[in-house]
Structure 1
Amino acid sequence: MKTIILAGGFGKRLRPVTDYVPKPLVPIKNIPIIEWQIRYLKKFGVDEVIVCTGYKTKMIENYLNAKNLDMKVNFSVEDSPLGTGGAIKKAARLIKDESFFVINGDIITNIDLRKLAAKQNSIASIELRTNFGVLETNQDKVTKFKEKKEITDLWMNAGIYHLQKKILKDLPKKGDIEETLFSEYAEKGKIHIIKFKDVKWFSIDSFKDMEESSLEIEKIIK
């Protein structure tokens, strides 16, 4: 199975670090996010990645080309931002398989890709978590304080997809997949959800995310 890594963003929320290095090269425990992702993908038999780049492309190419990661790496370079849908449409032309995975370039997780591959055109999802402490109350008194509680049976997009290549004709040349193809397919009942409970999942969008993921990353991706 091949995987597209969406790694073309500017990573503005991690400035000033991303003024100097692209987000995929931001280190977690002294190893860049994209290398952690490749280690994760290898565990599930992925033998090739297509890295979608745009911002500081050469830095990403130089790093991956210099590493011996035992993974075939190709690049799909965006001269201007195409959005997630446009990036996938362009990169997937390099894939001959009937289906492929897509992962956002800032995700650290232990989600089981084999379960995701069992359904065509599927989205990995996890239970929504709050970013803040949750108060349980009785009238005007706090009875319990819970940090970052998961909200039962409300599911969020985990940023990992299993897609059939035949969907490429429906993807935009420019635009986000969430607002175009997924929205259209959802209305027609053509997109599946694979729910994952009790998994580790981090989207590296802040320095706090970097800190929290660094405490568990070696357990998540061995």
Structure 2
Amino acid sequence: MATNTPKNAVILAAGCGSRLRPLTDLRPKPLVEVNGTPILYNALRNLEAIGVEQVTVVVGYRKDAIQYACGRRFSGLDINYVESTVFDRTGSAYSLWLARHALLSGDCFLLEGDVFFEEDALHYLTIGKATDIAAVASFGELMEGSAVLLSDDGFISSFRLKQTAANLAANGPSLFKTMNLLRLSAPTLRTTIVPALDDIIGAGATQGYIEELLAYLVERRGLQLAAARCDGLRWYEIDSVEDLRIAERIFTDSPSSVLPYKLQAN
């Protein structure tokens, strides 16, 4: 267990998961199972294994199901809940703003509730001297979504939102997919992240996403966000039924046999 491991984590789990219907007609996306394990259970178990003690889960769609499934105590973790009543018309930045009191409690892991990943991804976020760090993986040919470019010294230099394979040739080999797993330090949360959230939500921009917030802070406000390269690890962001099928293949097969899928995750 790393000595600089945060004791707190925030998981964003409020969304409707509309692209996973009909699986999400009666349950929230974080409780969809990958080979029998709910996505949220996997995250909580990995957080406990690395030394986290308290988790704040932002809930919205079918919140009662998540609260019933996880309770106030999940194995060795204390679980707190923050409810979004406008989950169907707000973005992830708004959900994060709702959890701002948890963000002000100290160093913190930040996770999206639709990523199935192995424990080492969190370990990678605690290695080295960087205190603000995001997990990334090489952008593969079948990927889409938010990506970043890295500087020579391993920091995120800029964001590229809504990327597809067609962008690979233009950006070259330095394009990396964001995995929606971050470690953020107490000073950065207190002086940069939470004030920026207050500003954008106060201005009425409630439909923005965390990647947009981070892009603004990195590119225009000088946030130093290091990148943890997780190319060799198994993970998948699950947005659709096809994503779920791929995730189940990744976590059923041996690591060596699924590496091509890992590099092509959404």
> What interval of TM-score do these two structures reach, taking the shorter chain for normalisation?
0.7 to 0.9
Question: CA 1:123 to 1:46, structure 2 compared with 1: closer, same or farther past 3 Å?
Answer: same
Aligned to 1:130: 141
Aligned to 2:153: none
- Gap runs ≥5 in structure 2: 1-6, 144-164, 256-266
Question: Is it true that 1:207 corresponds to 2:213 in the alignment?
Answer: no
1:52 alignment partner, SS class: strand
* Distance across 1 between alignment mates of 2:81 and 2:98: 11
Kept in 1, the 8 Å contact 2:138–2:176? The answer is yes
Question: Is it true that 1:97 corresponds to 2:105 in the alignment?
Answer: yes
**Normalised by the size of structure 2, how large is the TM-score?**
0.68
Q: Aligned partner of 2:98: which letter?
A: K
Shift of 1:98: 2.5
The one of 170, 193, 196 aligned to 2:196:
170
Question: Is it true that 1:156 corresponds to 2:177 in the alignment?
Answer: yes
* Distance across 2 between alignment mates of 1:66 and 1:95: 19
* Distance across 2 between alignment mates of 1:84 and 1:121: 19
1:112-131: CA deviation from partner (whole Å, max 9, x where unpaired): 32432442332211111122
Shift of 1:159: 0.6
The one of 194, 217, 234 aligned to 1:184:
217
Q: Aligned partner of 1:122: which letter?
A: I
Please identify which structure carries the higher strand content. 1
Question: Is it true that 1:108 corresponds to 2:124 in the alignment?
Answer: no
* Distance across 1 between alignment mates of 2:61 and 2:123: 31
Shift of 1:180: 2.7
Aligned to 1:26: 32
Shift of 1:197: 2.5
* Distance across 1 between alignment mates of 2:93 and 2:184: 12
How is 1:29-40 mapped onto 2 (pairs within 5 angstroms)?
A: 29-40=35-46
Kept in 1, the 8 Å contact 2:10–2:102? The answer is no
Aligned to 1:84: 92
Shift of 1:206: 2.1
Aligned to 2:48: 42
2:99 alignment partner, SS class: helix
* Distance across 2 between alignment mates of 1:3 and 1:27: 21
Please identify which structure carries the higher helix content. 2
User: Which shifted more, 104-113 or 64-73?
Assistant: 64-73
Shift of 1:210: 1.8
Q: Aligned partner of 1:213: which letter?
A: A
Shift of 1:106: 0.7
Shift of 1:109: 1.5
Kept in 2, the 8 Å contact 1:182–1:191? The answer is no
1:18-52: CA deviation from partner (whole Å, max 9, x where unpaired): 11111011111222110111111122111111111
Aligned to 2:226: 193
Q: Aligned partner of 1:129: which letter?
A: G
Kept in 2, the 8 Å contact 1:50–1:73? The answer is yes
The one of 6, 14, 22 aligned to 2:20:
14
Q: Aligned partner of 2:130: which letter?
A: K
* Distance across 2 between alignment mates of 1:112 and 1:204: 16
Kept in 1, the 8 Å contact 2:110–2:182? The answer is yes
Q: Aligned partner of 2:112: which letter?
A: N
Shift of 1:204: 1.0
User: Which shifted more, 175-184 or 211-220?
Assistant: 211-220
